[in-house]
Amino acid sequence: MNADFLPFTRPDIDEETIAAVGDVLRSGWITTGPQARALEAELSARCGGRAVRVFNSGTAALEIALRLARVGPGDEVITTPLSWVATANVILAVGARPVFVDIDPMTRNIDLDRIEGAITGSTRAIIPVDLAGLPVDRDRLATIAATHRLRVVEDACQSFGSNWRGRPIGTEGDFACFSFHANKNMTSTEGGAIALPADASPEETERWRLQGVRRSGEDEIDVEFVGEKANLTDVAACIGRHQLKRLDAFNERRRTLARHYFERLAATALPAGFALPVPDFAQSNWHMFQCVLPAGVRRPDFIRAMREAGIGIGVHYPAIHLFTLYRKLGFGEGQFPHAERIGRGIVTLPLFPRMTEADVDRVCAALPHAIAEASR
């Protein structure tokens, strides 16, 4: 990759963080310990004082939240087909069945109008996903969940720092799960967290996180169930703590760059059907800036043409129900037309805090040619 190549995202790790990681490595305590506990306390402060526990991935956070919500074999879980596959895989991992509900083509999030039609006697939970950081309507979601006595496991892996009507994601509601993967708005290289509802036990959460182990006294240890091995190292937690201090500034910068995209794209000749994201500058953390190519534009050719112009394009995501694993479960083409169409045409343009306005200009300037190349 040459130095001028603009990737679709890149983590921003400062020298202070690198020095602090050195201190952790020299301290003699490198796996779960004081850094992980401090990160939990700092995350809790941002989540309105709710108990927060950290994990080695967002996937582990989601899976453990489902277990804490008592979701298991025989249960159905409603979710969106347009997300990272982890969202649906965790449902299978706990032995439950995913029930997909098509998306709203504007927000690209689960269509709340369709949820009630998918509820059966076996429905136990809903996993909403805030795609690209744009929050799902938490008020409507809470009403649906309360009416039908369903648990909500928020897949907020992309929306840390977003808010619903001024209320930060993670401060209210049922389980809220975050990811600190390298591409997320804040990272611990890999990592995740759950903000727990009042009826979930932090101690039980810790047992799910580490082999089901319960410690007591000086030397007593007992195991009642098979937990996971999903603890976060102190090396990772230290990175996460330094990133958390910068999260608001990161998100503010993303918002500024997203605005700049809208200004430039308004002045760019784009084909009919080229869809922009919802211009939400109040609630979204702008985890991604995603557009949808019109049907006649071949995405692989578009990605190639942009790469030749020195610009990286991401694909987040093809519809989950069309993966082989899900087809084998009986899902297929035509079931969720909005997710399928958008999953085929969606592209993630570069957006990360260290980018400049000139980088955005460069992306916008390259678009018409790349689209023309991919339409021929």
Ligand X SMILES: *Cc1c(COP(=O)(O)O)cnc(C)c1O
Catalytic residue IDs: 184
Instruction: Name the minimum Å distance from CB 147 to ligand X.
Output: 25
Region of 89 (left: φ > 0; alpha: ψ -120 to 50; beta: rest) is alpha
**Nearest-CB residue to ligand X?**
58
3-state secondary structure of 376: coil
DSSP 153: E
> What's the rounded Cα separation, in Å, for the pair 271 and 296?
10
Q: How far is the CB of 317 from ligand X (least distance, A)?
A: 8
The CB-of-135 to ligand X minimum distance in angstroms stands at 13
Shortest CB 231 distance to ligand X, Å: 14
**Cβ at position 37, least distance to ligand X in Å:** 20
* Distance of closest approach, residue 371 Cβ to ligand X, in angstroms: 26
Closest CB to ligand X among residues 164, 274:
164
Type of residue found at 3: A
Residue 242, CA atoms < 13 Å, CB-side half-sphere? 19
Other beta carbons within 10 angstroms of residue 375's beta carbon come to 14
| Sign of the C-alpha dihedral computed for residues 64, 67, 71 and 72 taken in this order | positive
Find out whether 192 and 61 touch, Cβ atoms under 8 Å: yes
260 φ/ψ sector (left φ>0, alpha ψ -120 to 50, else beta): alpha
Largest CA distance in the chain: 72
- Nearer to ligand X among residue 134 and residue 367 (C-beta): 134
Binding stretches for ligand X (CB under 6 A): 57-59, 83-84, 86-87, 129, 155, 157-158, 179, 181, 192
Q: How far is the CB of 168 from ligand X (least distance, A)?
A: 18
If the CB atoms of residues 62 and 311 are measured against ligand X, the closer one turns out to be 62
Taking CA atoms, 305 is separated from 95, 197, 298, 350, in Å, by: 43, 47, 11, 15
What 328-336 contacts at long range (C-beta under 8 Å, 24+ apart), as own/partner pairs, is 329/97, 329/98, 331/100, 335/100, 335/102, 336/81, 336/100, 336/101, 336/102, 336/103
What contacts 41, CB < 8 A, 6 or more positions away? none
List of residues 6+ apart from 358 with CB closer than 8 A: none
Nearer to ligand X, 160 or 302 (CB): 160
Q: Which is nearer to ligand X, 157 or 293 (CB)?
A: 157
CA angle 253, 254, 255 (to 5 degrees): 90
Q: Which of 55, 331 has the CB closer to ligand X?
A: 55
Q: Specify whether the CB–CB gap between 336 and 321 falls below 8 A.
A: yes
Report in angstroms how near the CB of residue 6 gets to ligand X at its nearest: 21
Residue pair 53/209 in contact by the 8 Å Cβ criterion: yes
**Closest to ligand X by CB, 161 or 192:** 192
CA 332 to chain centre: 24
- Smaller CB distance to ligand X: residue 190 or 234? 190
